[in-house]
A and B are shown apart, each in its own frame.
Chain A
């Protein structure tokens, strides 16, 4: 079985650990071996949270620089910061809605222009899908569903080889019933947005 390496980067609180658990569940349903590793701990204190997911036959659970097949970014500047994890064949999916780090307000840095972020990623990799996942999440009914919007976009690209109904089933298993409808809607909106991106 081919190995597919996915890196998810997000800001603490954006729900990337749930997103990776949903993908793990989908892998089980699809019969694909998966290992995943995450770095958290400082997440609640506004830091960056990164998950690595290795699908297929490889046995390692982390991903070296330059070796991600897919980069899924929940925040545009964090997607660009993680670009060293990519090579020229990497597919990138990113949210375009910024969550500026506090250092910008404190005058210790300038937030890069989002159009420039998109241009740079597009030029360096095998393709970029950029959607305003925050706007879609709000439209779906909750800004908290931004993670599932992005999963929808990821699945639409076909890079993981999972059918959408498998992932929807995984969402049903992993998301609390009270939030299920919003999240299924969010998934659908992300899926459709990526098709038109």
Chain B
């Protein structure tokens, strides 16, 4: 049995934050869950996917976050407890349904989780999604710890059900990817079969209906504000004339700072876990009892500006500070020492930081950047496109996935990346705005997510570029989730359809479609050259399973390669394709690590000396 399905109330178990959230959803009796995977949220959905295979929980990987939210919106309006989770930028994709779903509301509990990524450990920006709650009139909750996240999601479902409004649960990477001991609670029985009751004056958002709904949503938020003011997730800890207002993981940094600085009798902390609407009365009462107040929050001054506005309304003139040149930054994530130092500075208490060791005489350590894996088919495709286009002035819009790493030398392929699907649409713009040749790259999962509409646009507006679809049969970057082009038999699952990318591309009206097998180097280069010569939209589908995934499924027999004594040591292999299986042996000669080589044979095909050959086993 899946460890998170165990009916063992009181059992204490170490869980990753994302596992704790998945368990909390199960304890809440969630019946319906949807997602598009994205770090740092991916392990929540992975666990729900696994649990759905051995229970009556419905779970689906949807094609993108907008689809996931719309699928979920229907379930939550059919009386099922519904959970929709995504990374922070995914909520941008889902923003269209989000803003109007807030008007329509739900008939059963619905929680939408946004996993924000301060410091951008694995994201293209560090936007602060608390503003979506305010923007969209959604109640919002934010946990400070792994254990709290598990309990909070249960209360978020209750809150959603009582207000008939979706609730935003906002986490950050340090919640999602921390481990802690969590105590299992009871599992509420799931109601898995719903019924939709027609209610067009709530559910059909023509202007006349929506005008009324906007009035209602503001009323709902008034009720939410009353609940926020009495919520146990908003509380004051400690005592004294100094005040700290904080949320999320910063709460514990602040609590540790108060203790470490010996301010236990001088400083109190207002922790806000139900943070939209903010508990205005509680904040006003807190301010009235403080001489000065420090707001500690990662990201934007979301609470700080509200707190200052409340102080103004109340005629409270004490100093209130958060983000400023000499205090907290809007950049990246916070850490305990930073919060301790700024707390000491703001409240004028003595503090001597621990000093890091002197690193001035430490030699430069070679970088260890992430790299495409040994035998990754993307490496071969990038190399082949570079060869085919070597005499051209080329722009290479790229997209979001493992292959984004193609921008690193020596492949150096990837000139413009802003969001999922942007490779295709930006190619339209580049090809019109310049005379440069445009060759763009998109992964299969990303193509389904949001590349298709760009391609339809390209055909309709008759743009001129070559799109390379990297079909590796899986969503690799986030941990091998399925997508609509995947053979679900490989997961041991039946009852799924399958969308064929080539048929789809042809149906869209692309006239020049070709398929390459990227481990056949010269043949691929020849095919790519033909596609590049075509005027109009051409699509190349590069088909080869993800090397890691193929290895885990034992799809192929692995035959590693070796460097023979024909090698003359010009190192073309390393300097052109940079496969991580190459290393320099004790004589400083190129060698191949037989433990990691998967035998793609790309290096063997590009070695001018024919010095690379299969290792005899």
**Total of A-B residue pairs, C-beta within 8 Å:** 161
B10 within 8 A of A: no
Q: Let me know if A104 and B357 touch, CB within 8 A.
A: no
**Contacts known (A44-B373, A45-B372, A105-B574); A39 close to B366, Cβ less than 8 A:** no
Nearest Cβ in chain B — how far from A192, in angstroms?
A: 28
Judge whether B356 and A60 touch: CB under 8 Å: no
Contact B178 A35 (CB under 8 A): yes
Chain A interface secondary structure, helix, strand, loop or mixed?
A: mixed
Known: A24-B14, A83-B359. A61 touches B178 (CB 8 A): yes
Q: Pick from A39, A116, A120: contact of B121, CB below 8 A.
A: A39
Set B179, B354, B372, B373: member contacting A67, Cβ < 8 A: B354
Q: How far is the CA of A40 from the CA of B178 in the complex (A)?
A: 11
- B371–A102 touching, CB < 8 Å: yes
Highest count of chain A CB atoms <10 Å: which of B337, B354, B402: B354
Q: A77 vs B362: C-alpha distance in the bound complex, in angstroms?
A: 11
Nearest B residue to A102, CB-CB: B580
User: Taking the complex as formed, is B284 at the interface, i.e. its CB lies under 8 A from any CB of chain A?
Assistant: no
A104 touches B366 (CB 8 A): yes
- State whether the Cβ of B233 lies closer than 8 Å to any Cβ in chain A: no
Q: Give chain B nearest CB distance to A162 CB in angstroms.
A: 16
Interface size on B, residues (CB 8 A): 56
A83 and B362 form a contact (CB under 8 A): yes
Instruction: Say whether B364 faces chain A, with CB atoms less than 8 Å apart.
Output: yes
Interface string of B262-287 (1 = CB under 8 A from A): 00000000000000000000000000
Chain A residue at minimum C-beta to C-beta distance from B410: A106
Q: A196 near B: Cβ within 8 Å?
A: no
User: 1/0 contact trace for B235-263 toward A, CB 8 Å?
Assistant: 00000000000000100110110000000
Contact B252 A64 (CB under 8 A): no
Residues of A within 8 A of B507 (CB): none
Given the contacts A66-B337, A67-B336, A102-B582, A84 and B359 also touching, CB distance less than 8 Å: yes
Please indicate the chain A residues that have their CB under 8 angstroms from the CB of B580 in the complex: 46, 102
CB-CB nearest in chain A for B174: A37
A158 interfacial contact with B, CB 8 Å: no
A67 and B122: CB pair below 8 A? no
Instruction: Indicate which residue in B12, B179, B574, B583 contacts A20 across the interface (CB closer than 8 Å).
Output: B179
Partner of A42, one of B336, B370, B590: B370
Partner of A66, one of B174, B355, B584: B355
Assess whether A188 is interfacial by the CB under 8 Å rule. no
Are A108 and B371 in contact, with the CB atoms below 8 A? no
Does B57 belong to the interface (CB within 8 Å)?
A: no
Most buried by B among A61, A100, A120: A61
State A44–B146 Cα separation when bound (angstroms). 25
Which residues of B sit under 8 angstroms from A36, Cβ to Cβ? Answer: 178-180
Count of A residues near B, CB < 8 Å? 58
B393 within 8 A of A: no
- Taken together as a complex, chains A and B put the C-alpha atoms of A63 and B180 apart, in Å, by 16
Check B179 against A38 for contact (C-beta < 8 Å): yes
Bound-state CA distance A47–B402 (Å) is: 13
List residues of chain A with CB within 8 A of the CB of B402: 45
Residues of the B chain whose Cβ atoms lie less than 8 Å from the Cβ of A83: 357, 359, 362
In the assembled complex, the Cα of A106 lies from the Cα of B121 at a distance in Å of 25
Interfacial chain B residues near A125, Cβ < 8 Å: 357
Residues of chain B within 8 A of A105, CB atoms compared? 574, 582-584, 590
The interface residues of chain A lying within 8 Å CB-to-CB of B208 are: none
Interface status of A138 (Cβ within 8 A of chain B):
no
Question: Which one, B39, B121, B405, B583, contacts A45 given CB within 8 A?
Answer: B405
Q: Tell me the minimal C-beta distance from A174 to chain B in angstroms.
A: 9
Asked whether B357 lies within 8 Å of A124 as measured between CB atoms, the reply is: yes
Chain A residues with Cβ below 8 Å from B350 are: none
Q: Give every chain B residue within 8 A of A104 (Cβ-Cβ).
A: 366, 584
- The answer to whether B367 and A21 touch across the interface, beta carbons within 8 angstroms, is no
Chain A residues, Cβ within 8 Å of B145: 35, 59, 61
Interface residues of A in 105-159 (CB under 8 A from B): 105-112, 116, 120, 124-125
Nearest first, the 9 A-B pairs at minimum CB distance are A109-B366, A64-B337, A66-B356, A42-B370, A59-B252, A101-B368, A45-B370, A124-B357, A47-B370
**Interfacial residues, chain B to chain A (CB-CB below 8 A):** 12, 14, 39-40, 121-122, 145-146, 174, 177-181, 249, 252-253, 255-256, 335-338, 353-359, 361-373, 402, 405, 410, 548, 571, 574-575, 578, 580, 582-584, 590
